[in-house]
Structure formats: C-alpha cells, structure tokens
Chains A and B, each alone.
Chain A
Amino acid sequence: MHTTTAHVYPIDNIDTDRIIPGKYTKTLDMSALASHVLEDLDPDFAKKVQTGDILVAGNNFGCGSSREQAPIAIKAAGISVVVAKTFARIFYRNAINIGLPVIEVEKHNIQSGDSISIDLENGVVTNHTRNETYQATRMPQQMIDILNAGGLVNYLIQHGDYV
C-alpha cells in the first residue's frame, strides 16, 4: 500500500478562515488557492507538503463558512486525505463532494513526519513509523458512493440523479 507523510496540527476548531482566508477566495484559480492554504496557522505549510501527504487535525476541523475553496485549497496543495477527530458538517460534505477523502479517527498517536497509509474502504489507518493501526468512524453509504465516484460531479454524470 502507498504510504505518505503526516502533517499534524493537533488543534481543535481550525476554521475555514484559517484554512483559506476570505480575502483569497474570490477566484477559480486552484494554484492561487493552494499557495495560501493554512498560511495564518503555518506560513510554510504549502511549501512543506509533498503530493499525496496527509493532514491531521483535532476536533471540529473546518468549522465556519460554507466555502468549498477550503477543501479545494487543501486538495490543490497536494494533500490526499484529511484525518481529524471530528469535522464540521459543511466542510465534511464539501470535501467528499470534490473528491477529497476525509476520515474521522477518534484516537490515534500520529506525529508530524510519521509514515501513514490509509484504507478508506475499511476505515483503517496504519502508522508504519509506530507500528500501530487506528479505526475510523464509518461514513454514511451515500458518502461512500459519492467518494467512490470521485466526487459529486462524477456521481451525477454516472447516475443522472440522486439514487
């Protein structure tokens, strides 16, 4: 299985203004969004991320606004999965809808730099650095279907309607 590096911010309530400030959201340019992602939390974040890395946070990740630019910016920066203890609901839906996997893991011991692999289908996170595995909360079937389609756009292209 493909392993990636974790970037851990063990902070609760990382809001959408910190993920991508409102002043940068009025654009359709993905690379412009990616360059500012999480800059008020960690100015070097965008530079540190290698394509495929994972982002790890605390409770209620993505609270605040409905801006889809938040998960878009994270995905465009190269993050392949976001792991948090819990997610705010609009962020959670938005991430799945744009094809950015997000999983809730209540208990884990992931530290920045750990080598991680994730089995989304079974909700299992493996920490290769510490030889540990963690169980994720199962998401509703509707969300698994949308995620498996690669996002809501592809889901609707495939099905033509909600099924």
Chain B
Amino acid sequence: MGSKFSIRKEGRLPTFVSRQMLDTWKNQKKALETDARVASWVTAFEWPDFFSPDFDSPDTGTPREEKRPIERDAKTAFRLDIPTLYVKREHLVDLMKLLKTAPEYNYNFLLHLSAIDFLNSPDANDAVRNNGKRFQMLYMLRALHPDKPAFKGLTIRVLLPVNEDELIPSLTSLWVGANWPEREVFDMFGLKFEGHPDLRRIIMPENYRGFPLRKDFPVGGIGEDYLIEDLLTDRLLND
C-alpha cells in the first residue's frame, strides 16, 4: 500500500504550518511582547499550543501513522491555529498600521474581516476573553511577499471586543478593500464603523429589520411580509 505521496508534516505541527513559519512567528512574538507601544495597545496575546517548546518533538523518523493518535478525548482542550492579539478599540488602527508597515511584521494583506456574536456562549471563558463584551471583530492579516521567503504563508489574527453601541474604527484608510466586508458586518451584526465612506446595508434590503447573524435573531427569520408591504406602500404612494 505504499503511496508515492504522503502528507508533509513537521513534527506535530498542523499541516499548513512549516517549521520556518513557526520560527518567524516566534521572532515576531518576541518583538511584539517587548514593544512598549504594542503593550499599551494590546490587552492580551494568545499563542497556539505548538508555540510551547515541549510540544515540538523532533521525532521525524517514526512513521506518521504510528505516532499520530486519534484525538478522540480532546474535547476539553482549546485549540488555536493562529497567533492572536486582543486589541483596544482606540488603538486598532495604530496596531494595524504597525503590523502592515513595520519590516519585522510585514502583514500587508487584509485576509479576512468579520465579526462573532458571543451572546449566551456555552463557554464561560468567552466572556472573560472578550472583556465581558458581546461582539468580537475578527481581522486576519497575511504577509504576502513572494520575494521574501522568510514570510511565506504567515497569518495573524487581531480580535477586537466590542459592544453594540461602540463605534469601531474603520480600516478603509489602510486597506481600501475593507469597505465591503465592513458593510457586511454592519448589515449582518449592526455594528457601526467610524470613518467608513459609505456605511449602508450591502446584502439585505435597505428597509430590512434586524441583523441576521446575531445570536438572538431566529434562524427562520422574523417574517418578511413587511418587505412586500413596504414595497406596495411605496408603489401606492408613488403612483
């Protein structure tokens, strides 16, 4: 049953993490934790468990099938794949600017922008991690430099705990592409952005009531007949 191909694995690292990525990440970890500015901007760091020195066993000689147990009972262990920073709201743009431009980080590509609602989360730890706030903005950055192999495939996550009534600084000044994703977050979660050029609903109709991706919004919707009524009223008034 010998196969020509086998999954590339370095120690027990996840498949998409190479040892080189881990080394660069660890250097960045050192730089981030010692930077005084970052210390005043960031409330917490979370590092994946493969950052700890005892995780990384050098037993590359053993066949893969034997050394990889099925993690059937790992229900309690919290697993994270990407280095994470919890940032203060007023310093979001500062941190993003540093991560984007500083040569040791080089995260020049806004990979993902979304939000998470932690209302009634089953994990009590969520409220602690999220400073007791309900929502969390999720930003993912990638170092996209084909000419710099040391930064190959690096990704980092920035989380921003917010409440419904707080204005979130818009990232459109740094990445013009943040425009539509921020509108989508506004549309789906009702979170408002400060400094956004055109904050309107993007996917749902303008007269839609409620924010569908909030946890207290029913999955079946709240009954959308009013949209038709609105349309009819509109027509009647205009005709």
- Asked whether A and B interact, the reply is no
Interface set of A (CB-CB < 8 Å, partner B)? none
Interface set of B (CB-CB < 8 Å, partner A)? none
